[in-house]
Structures are given as structure tokens and as C-alpha cells.
Amino acid sequence: GAGVSQSPRYKVAKRGQDVALRCDPISGHVSLFWYQQALGQGPEFLTYFQNEAQLDKSGLPSDRFFAERPEGSVSTLKIQRTQQEDSAVYLCASSLLLAGGYNEQFFGPGTRLTVL
């Protein structure tokens, strides 16, 4: 089946604009993660959903960042009033939720956001 897909693949925004990044996880995957990857760095955790519930948002850098997954499948990461420091690749990952075992995270290709 299809893997994790993200759209758009590239987004250029002017400083102060709002942006919305979409993630389509693998069908049936209960868990969904968002990560932010700055240039030359490893990905950093932003937030985690189990179905529609946002169980961990400890990595969101400010209240300008908001994520949702209203029906427990597609998720949207919204950034309000974008700043230059928000420029990064935003990665989405999904996984099953099997008790007691390792649940491999499958990553999408990411959305590269450039804020001018």
C-alpha cells in the first residue's frame, strides 16, 4: 500500500503569513507524529496523536504552532504568523499501536518550509 504522504512538498511563505501542512498517514495507523528538522540537524519531536487525541504536544516551540487530527486519520500542522526561524523540513510519521512491542515509525518525505 501507499506510504505516508505529505503536502505540499515545498512551501515558501512571507514572514507573518499562516501556513498549513498536511499529512496522510498509512491507513490503519493509530499513532501519528510530527517532527521539525532544521538544516544540518536531526529531526526534533513536535507532537504526537493517538487516533484523534493529541497526547503529547511538549515539542511545539510556541503557541503559533497548532496541530490537529479531527477524524483520527489526516493531520494538519498549522503555523501562524510565520517567522524566519520556522524555516525547516516538517516530517510526519505514523505507526501501528501494538501492545508490548516495537512499533516502527514510517516517515513521509517531509514539507520544506522557507520563510522569507
> Does residue 104 belong to the site contacting other proteins (CB under 8 A)?
yes
Residue 72 binding other proteins, by CB under 8 A: no
Report the relative pairing of strands 10-13 and 111-115 from DSSP bridges. parallel
Q: End-to-end CA distance of the chain, in Å? A: 37
The span from the CA of 75 to the CA of 73, in Å, is 6
# residues near other proteins by CB under 8 A: 30
Stretch that binds other proteins, among 11-19, 60-68, 78-86, 104-112 (CB under 8 A): 104-112
What is the rounded distance in angstroms from the CA atom of residue 20 to the CA atom of residue 16?
13
HSE toward the beta carbon, residue 16, CA cutoff 13 A? 0
54 binds other proteins (CB under 8 A): no
Site string for other proteins, 79-98 (x = CB under 8 A): ------------x-x-x-x-
Q: What are the residues binding other proteins (CB under 8 A)?
A: 4, 31, 33, 35, 40-45, 48, 50, 56, 59, 91, 93, 95, 97, 99-110
